[in-house]
A and B are shown apart, each in its own frame.
Chain A
Amino acid sequence: MGKTERTVTLAKSRLTWMAEEFGLPRIIIAGLLLLLFILTPVVGVDLPTQITNIINRFSWNAVLVLAMVPMIHSGCGLNFGLPLAIICGLLGGTLSIELGFTGPLSFVMAALIATPFAVLLGGGYGLLLNRIKGGEMMIATYVGFSVMSFFCMMWLLLPYSSPTMVYGLSGNGLRPTISLDGFYNQVLAGFLHIKIGNIEIPTGSLLVFALLAFLMWAFLHTKTGTAMTAVGSNATFARAAGINVNRVRMLSVIMSTWLGAMGILMYQQGFGFIQLYNAPNNLTLPTVSAILIGGASVNKASIPHVIIGTILFQGIVTMTPTVMNSAIHMDMSEVIRIIVSQGIILYALTRKTEGAK
């Protein structure tokens, strides 16, 4: 009796250990996605199309999710200020078109132009976050909002004149949605594009993500990268070890901002449109919940978290509408997506973490 009981408790503790290790939300979401995959042929939805969609959307969003990593590592928490980074990317994209670049060159120029903005705005943002340690997330949220609404005015007032971007009638003020046909629409996705049966793979986009993710991984293993992790896990200890905490945090914020700017350019080249005004806000919470679904926490994140999280989140986003629609003729996907993604963020925030201040 005693022995079986012990085995049961042992099995139970192992189960809970596994749940802890792998993360309860990750298990639930992975289970949900698996269920959707199993349901796909049953309800008569084309599986290859779904897989193509997931890979595509992964290639749009992965870099944005990667942008979360540096700030989580340095203890700045989840980057709810993503709109700031996105604005840098938008400036790069619109200026590149305004200056008359077309085709693949316009993408390169957009990335080049976005970089100084990301360094400048990211630097200011980092300076601010260094003065309010402990309250980063709430302030990041509202810094993002403020910058976004400030640029809402700027998109109307800045002297853009390219006829592809401004309102046709009045001739000034950028349109909310700008088509990228003839500019950098699909420039990366079309590079080395592979088609196997019905499954299409945007190789170029995935390669660029792989390159950035590798650079991120390599950076985290350099001296500065290790210092960043040290600052994130224990700032007092890091200071005692002679690390300039503020400088490391600032660097992480600039990296996050730059990656976010690149991320939105990647998103645009896949999606085919530049979205201005209040659009940056729509990407923040999905991006944050994607990395959390991947198994990251408020103060711990890695490259696998980014990859797993983006696949799981985008899988849910693409699969639920089609599968649910054909299964029960009721499109509840939007509501389910809100509940799942916000629930994940809440779970991460309410969990007792060692690094919590």
Chain B
Amino acid sequence: MNEKKNIPAGKRLSELVRNNTVPIMFIIICAVFIPMAGFSPSYLLNEIVTRMGRNLFLVLCLLFPIMAGMGLNFAMTLGAMGAEIAVILVADWQIWGIPGVVLAMILSIPFSALLGFICGTLQNMAKGREMITSYIINFFINGWYQLIVLYVMGSIIPILHSSIMLPRGYGIRNTVSLLNMRQCLDDLLAIRVAGVKIPVFTFILVALLCLFIVWFRRTKLGQDMRAVGQDLEVAKAAGINVDRTRIISVVMSTVCAGFGMVIYLQNIGNLPTYSGHSQIGMFCIAALLVGGASVEKAGIGNAFLGVILFHLMFIVAPGAGKFITGDSMVGEYFRVFLSYGVITVALIMYEAKKRMVKSKAGRELAEAQVKKEDA
């Protein structure tokens, strides 16, 4: 603490800027784009609050695998798929409103947990390339998801209501209407402040997850997880069951992603059966990284800041693109480019740093050896 105080203010500021390059860049982008897009402040505020309620839970679920040193969990989509299956079943049983949402959440747990277990096991088989493995798992399980939803549902799993079924007699329609479930969590305890609707109950759920994360970090399991994240070998030597801990972190992430997806879907009000989950992973990861997180370190604050900045950019980019080039498509491509770009930069920074640390350790070892030989 004392050391920090002695550093001059200018140096501290430059360090602050260097450590938070991505959020600062996004603040600048948003600051430039907002006037160009020409939206009213109340509209923007409303959108941001809605999107925070919709996405925060999903983004927070990424924190567990980062804690365990497994990097960005591209396979959080698995939880979303588990939740979608649960939501389809609940919609078919015509259980609407709050009971429907609660049932969908409970029902999603076994699906997400099973998928998370598979994912964790596969990632343990591919140590050192967890991220690319999780990225491919996501496509692999998507194939199985399509198999189940498109062919098994209605032919083997009974679907009672033809309204959600394809006309051919099996398989689920491209969109399942969740109109009777729409925003039922958001409307619970919702308050309006100056025309901005605040979904208090959804925020309470998010706050509960935050509290859980803070508490979890202090438990034995949470400490183990962080130890595994620091160094696999040291953790193993300390008697921690590394593989089990890593699987638990992935399962927790997918189960939370399942809950998050149910919250997301009740806010949207319909389920795009085959495309609903495809972009979720990418957008959540980009949002977390925009908030200043890195591949090995992320906190709750990053999630909040990231969701605000990323979605602000997302809302204003098409309008700004139209203002600059006269074509709103350019803005849409620009925001996709920024989301991919921020993930790319974060990954590059992570790998470069990892290599630097490794080579530094190697150099120190060599120097120590030279000293020893000299002596």
Contacts and interface: CB of A to CB of B under 8 A. Distances in A.
Interface of A: 80, 128, 131-135, 137-139, 141-143, 145-146, 149-150, 152-153, 156-157, 173, 285, 330, 332, 334-335, 338-339, 342-343, 345-346, 349-350, 352, 356-357
A156 B327 contact: yes
Contact of A335 (B131, B146, B329, B354): B146
Contacts of B327: 156, 173
A153 B347 contact: no
A154 B333 CA distance: 10
Interface string B121-138: 010011011011101110
Contacts of B125: 350, 352
Contacts, number: 115
B122 A146 contact: no
Interface stretch (B25-33, B92-100, B187-195, B336-344): B336-344
Given A335-B146, A335-B150, A343-B140, 16 more contacts: A132-B351, A142-B343, A142-B344, A145-B343, A146-B341, A149-B336, A149-B340, A152-B337, A153-B333, A156-B327, A285-B139, A335-B151, A338-B140, A349-B126, A349-B132, A356-B129
Contacts of B343: 142, 145
A146 B342 CA distance: 9
Interface in B332-370: 333-334, 336-337, 340-341, 343-344, 347-348, 350-352, 354-355
A352 B129 CA distance: 11
A153 B143 contact: no
Contact of A350 (B122, B135, B142, B355): B122
15 contacts: A128-B348, A132-B348, A134-B351, A142-B347, A149-B333, A153-B333, A156-B327, A156-B329, A156-B330, A338-B139, A338-B146, A339-B147, A342-B136, A343-B143, A349-B136
9 closest A-B pairs by CB:
A338-B143, A132-B351, A135-B351, A339-B143, A342-B140, A350-B125, A149-B337, A142-B344, A152-B333
B325 interface: yes
Contact of B143 (A131, A132, A335, A349): A335
Contacts of A142: 340, 343-344, 347
A335 B347 CA distance: 31
Nearest to A332: B151
B171 to A, nearest CB: 10
B132 A339 contact: no
Interface of A is mostly: helix
B144 interface: yes
B347 A138 contact: yes
Interface of B is mostly: helix
A145 B336 CA distance: 9
Contacts of B136: 342, 345-346, 349
B344 to A, nearest CB: 4
Given A131-B355, A335-B147, A338-B142, A157 B135 contact: no
Interface string B210-221: 000000000000
A157 B330 contact: yes
B337 A150 contact: yes
B128 A357 contact: yes
Interface in B297-333: 325, 327, 329-330, 333
Nearest to B72: A138
A153 B337 contact: yes
Nearest to B146: A335
A332 B142 CA distance: 14
A330 B132 contact: no
A142 B146 CA distance: 25
B232 to A, nearest CB: 14
Contacts of B144: 339
Contacts of B129: 135, 137-138, 349, 356
Given A138-B131, A173-B327, A153 B334 contact: yes
